Structure 1
């Protein structure tokens, strides 16, 4: 009997060892994936949904792993909280979650909805119309039939015609459109011009302000009405995330406030934006030491060497370690014990990772720090 018990204990220990289920083990197994399943590939969660790929095609799952949308499409993406973007045979459209058609497949390209509109393009002969659609399928900009000439009204009510060659997403009630000469202007949700075609570069708005470059190449920030807020002599600037604007000067990174005032001097060899829902950034000093940076300038040292870093989302930052493995950093700068072949942005408490070449989601609460 004793021999039997010793044998049973040894066999059990061997099974646990093979499956990595031993106290103190920090390796995730494929069996640890949320919902008890893995996929060929997948996306981070957006609006409570993620797109995953299986042998029989792409599908949309909710945060319980339940398939809520699938179909015979070449690609699928989350377009809004209640619309799915689909593509088949080179044409894009939008479907309701119940599988009914919301907007017919008619676009040459389409993007997710942002601030009530999705960027779309339509072909006409050998040309292209750059436009926006709302969730009911109404196009915003007025193009002549069979042409890429768009009719716009300026601030004075005058009608002008422009060939549109590019657009940005709507954010905070404004978007940018580019003419054939690569000059950019700002429009509102009625498609009316808020500025002339006077900028050489325009980016999406964030926190009500947007980055532009004027004809001299200088960086300018404007508000959603087109008013210039400030100029900067920085070599480059990024979006205004969490009321901070990351900038680069003399090869180093620092941060401006939304008024253009330097709030953290350029001193970091690399840096992320502050997270949208987690107002922290990850930075490295000139010696390669990584820190978690708060808006109060407080720095928390990260004890492990990091090769690449990503902004915080859902309270975690994806880090690539110097050995090529991926992990997550929490808001205290602690790196989780588990290691992954690949890791992506967390949302809704679920983190997309690859383990032994298999893709799946792990629950944030199961990470060990």
Structure 2
């Protein structure tokens, strides 16, 4: 495995050096948040805005995706055509008809027609969620509404996103809640906290998970998730079960392990095998599988293991428990937008909901489909493919507008940082590509980026295997701790 990652690193470096030497250009980034796989997506908030099953953030939102070349940002449409020129120092995803971009003068909010809506006095900004956008100023966080009016002053050490009338905030290492006007609703006092969902909020204090009602009262303790499809995971003396938003036990704590609800079903384990129950606790799919994952698009991923430890193959079942794809793939992902990424002989491709191979297993990287598009990678070149067969590549010199480049190319953010928008220096006219300092910096950044990608591939493979071998410790609600 290490040898394969090392070979990938060497090949990728040679390809990148050859590409830049021959003058072939590329979009350095697509999206505005760097994922662990080395691609750049946009995410509202890496702490709070991940869905119940940790799905990948979408590439396109509102049919636009931010792209970057040589430190300058713009947007492409779903055909890969640049519709907002690459002139900004940074950019967020579009959300609710708005996006934040960085200019030499500061941060501004634009619409899909690239019209400036308002300027925002801050150093960072994030996409809108439920009518509010988080921003950072002088190291503190606040929120603005759709008109650019500050409704929550920048006074918090960190903040989540707007949900059900409240926002998670952090002060001096403690978490609490404010309303959409910035009024303190629950004084910061918890070790961790999540957004309100289903009329309740999940918080932790002294290692104990609790649910709070909209009045701030503790509903129940010993829970391990927020409310998802009306239920929260809890643990009793005899196993795992579920409570509702009032704290009442809905599904008895009798299961050896349990995942989180999805599409009206819950994957649970009994006598070492996984099956599915409904939201009332009735068994709907027999306990036949060594591993099982939540339903998505009406299909669940399952796996078998001869020794109960190492996974022998991944497959899929429908809502009736019928096998639509046998457990024959060496790796796989859950369905998204009617497609699932599957791996065979170390290469990734896609199948549809009937189990038909619609994209051959020929890629080294394959992300989930979102809004009919997905990112794939091969030999250091990442492309966007469409579920209808349309595709375009990020590496396209001829379609990139000749825009000025900044005096100094901003350094890449680490993968664990949040999307950042920083005012950049005044741009200058670019020199010839062969002698431009910006080109040299771009080459260095690209080579370092591919090196990091290869290292991440190795780490990702190791972590995947560790995660699956520690399956009991990482299932379902326990991830929400």
Shared fold (TM-score, shorter chain, > 0.5): yes
Q: CA deviation at 1:312?
A: 2.2
CA 1:205/1:70 → structure 2, altered by over 3 Å: closer, same or farther? Answer: same
Please tell me whether Structure 1 or Structure 2 has the larger radius of gyration of its CA atoms: 1
Partner of 1:177: 203
Contact 2:291 2:303 in 1 (8 A): yes
Contact 1:58 1:76 in 2 (8 A): no
CA 1:264/1:303 → structure 2, altered by over 3 Å: closer, same or farther? Answer: closer
Gaps of 5+ in 1: 1-29, 149-162
CA 1:120/1:220 → structure 2, altered by over 3 Å: closer, same or farther? Answer: same
Which of these residues, 319, 325, 334, is aligned with residue 347 of structure 2? 325
Partner of 1:273: 294
Q: CA deviation at 1:117?
A: 3.1
Q: Per the alignment, in what secondary structure is the counterpart of residue 336 of structure 2?
A: coil
Q: How does 1:1-369 map to 2 (within 5 A)?
A: 38=30, 41-43=40-42, 44-45=57-58, 48=62, 52=66, 54=68, 55-56=71-72, 58-62=90-94, 68-71=99-102, 77-87=126-136, 90-96=139-145, 101-123=150-172, 128-141=173-186, 143=187, 163-179=189-205, 181-195=206-220, 198-199=221-222, 201-214=223-236, 216=237, 218-275=239-296, 278-286=297-305, 288-301=312-325, 305-307=329-331, 309-319=332-342, 321-337=343-359, 339-358=362-381, 361-366=384-389
Q: Note the alpha carbon deviations across 1:55-110, whole angstroms, 9 max, x for none.
A: 245422449xx983223577654451543334466433334466654533333222
Q: CA deviation at 1:230?
A: 2.2
Q: CA deviation at 1:228?
A: 0.9
Q: Per the alignment, in what secondary structure is the counterpart of residue 100 of structure 2?
A: strand
For 1:316 and 1:112, the matched residues in 2 are separated by 29
Q: Per the alignment, in what secondary structure is the counterpart of residue 241 of structure 1?
A: coil
CA 1:108/1:318 → structure 2, altered by over 3 Å: closer, same or farther? Answer: farther
Q: CA deviation at 1:222?
A: 0.6
What's the Cα RMSD here?
A: 3.6
For 1:246 and 1:89, the matched residues in 2 are separated by 45
CA 1:135/1:360 → structure 2, altered by over 3 Å: closer, same or farther? Answer: farther
For 1:118 and 1:292, the matched residues in 2 are separated by 38
Gaps of 5+ in 2: 1-24, 32-38, 43-56, 73-88, 108-121, 307-311, 392-481
Higher relative contact order (CA 8 A, sep 6+): 2
Partner of 2:396: none
Consecutive aligned runs of 4 or more in structure 1 exceeding 6 Å deviation:
none
Contact 2:256 2:269 in 1 (8 A): yes
For 1:92 and 1:51, the matched residues in 2 are separated by 25
TM-score, normalised to structure 1's length?
0.68
TM-score, normalised to structure 2's length?
0.54
